[in-house]
Chain A
Amino acid sequence: AQSVTQLDSQVPVFEEAPVELRCNYSSSVSVYLFWYVQYPNQGLQLLLKYLSGSTLVESINGFEAEFNKSQTSFHLRKPSVHISDTAEYFCAVRGYNNNDMRFGAGTRLTVKP
C-alpha cells in the first residue's frame, strides 16, 4: 500500500511571493503522483500529475512539481502566488499495480494581500 505525508497543514504567504507545498510518499512499488486543488464546498480539480517521463511537471496556472524518487518527494511550487490561489491542496499517490489513490492530509494555502 501507499501513503502520503503533507508536512505542512497550513501555509500562509503574501501575494507575489514564492511558495512550496511539501509532499512525501511511501510505497513498495512504483507510483503515479498527483496534486489536486479544492476550493470551499467544491470537488477536486487536478492540478498536475506525474505518470512517467520527465520528472518536472507543470500546470497551466504556473504551478510545477518535481518527482524525486531518491527522496520520495513530489513538492509543489509556484514562483509568484495570487490571492486566487488560496485553497486546500492535496497530494495523492497511486501504485502501478493497484487502483486506489491515497491522499495526504492536505495543506491550506492562504495568500494574503
Chain B
Amino acid sequence: GAVVSQHPSRVICKSGTSVKIECRSLDFQATTMFWYRQFPKQSLMLMATSNEGSKATYEQGVEKDKFLINHASLTLSTLTVTSAHPEDSSFYICSAGNYGYTFGSGTRLTVV
C-alpha cells in the first residue's frame, strides 16, 4: 500500500531560525501533497496543498512567506517554517496518495 514518510519526527529550534520538514511518498508518485497543522488536543487544519512543479495553494489565513512549500519532484514535498517563533510550535503532518488519505507520521516542532 501507499506509504508516506515524514522527517524529522521531532525538532527543536531557536526562535528566529528556519526549519525544513520533508514529506516523501515512498512507493508511489504524488503530484499533490497536503500539509496540515495540529494544535494540542485539537483537530487537523489544512494549511496548504502542494503541487508538483507549480506553486502551492494556501488556505486562508496561512502566511505564504512564513510557511514555504516546495514540491520539486513527484516524491518529495518540503515545508519550511521561516523565522520560527514559539507560536509556530505545533504538530505538522503531511498526506498524499489516491484520495489524499495516507498520512505521514508527523513532525513535532518546538521553537524555544
How many Å lie between the Cα of A87 and that of B89 in the bound state?
Answer: 22
For A42, the chain B residues whose CB sits under 8 A away are 105-106
Of residues A44, A92, A103, which shows the largest number of chain B Cβ atoms within 10 Å of its Cβ?
A: A44
How many Å lie between the Cα of A105 and that of B103 in the bound state?
Answer: 17
Whether the Cβ atoms of A103 and B99 lie closer than 8 Å is: no
Question: In this assembly, does A34 line the interface, its C-beta being within 8 Å of a C-beta of chain B?
Answer: yes
How many Å lie between the Cα of A42 and that of B45 in the bound state?
Answer: 16
Contact of B43 among A41, A51, A99, A104 (CB under 8 A): A104
For A49, the chain B residues whose CB sits under 8 A away are 99, 101
Contact of B46 among A32, A101, A104, A106 (CB under 8 A): A101
Question: In this assembly, does B95 line the interface, its C-beta being within 8 Å of a C-beta of chain A?
Answer: yes
Main secondary structure of the interface of B (DSSP, over half): strand
How many Å lie between the Cα of A51 and that of B100 in the bound state?
Answer: 12
How many Å lie between the Cα of A97 and that of B106 in the bound state?
Answer: 26
Residues of chain B at interface, number, CB under 8 A: 20
Least Cβ distance of B14 to chain A in Å? Answer: 22
For B78, the chain A residues whose CB sits under 8 A away are none
Whether the Cβ atoms of A101 and B105 lie closer than 8 Å is: no
Residue of B nearest to A46 (CB): B101
B interface with A by C-beta (< 8 Å): 6, 32, 34, 42-46, 49, 93, 95, 99-106, 108
Q: A36-B103, A49-B101, A105-B42 are in contact. List 15 more A-B contacts (CB 8 A).
A: A41-B108, A42-B105, A42-B106, A43-B105, A44-B44, A46-B102, A90-B43, A90-B44, A92-B101, A94-B101, A100-B100, A101-B46, A101-B95, A103-B43, A103-B45
Q: Could you show 6 A-B contacts with beta carbons less than 8 Å apart?
A: A32-B99, A43-B6, A43-B93, A43-B105, A44-B103, A49-B99
A interface with B by C-beta (< 8 Å): 32, 34, 36, 41-46, 49, 51, 90, 92, 94, 99-106
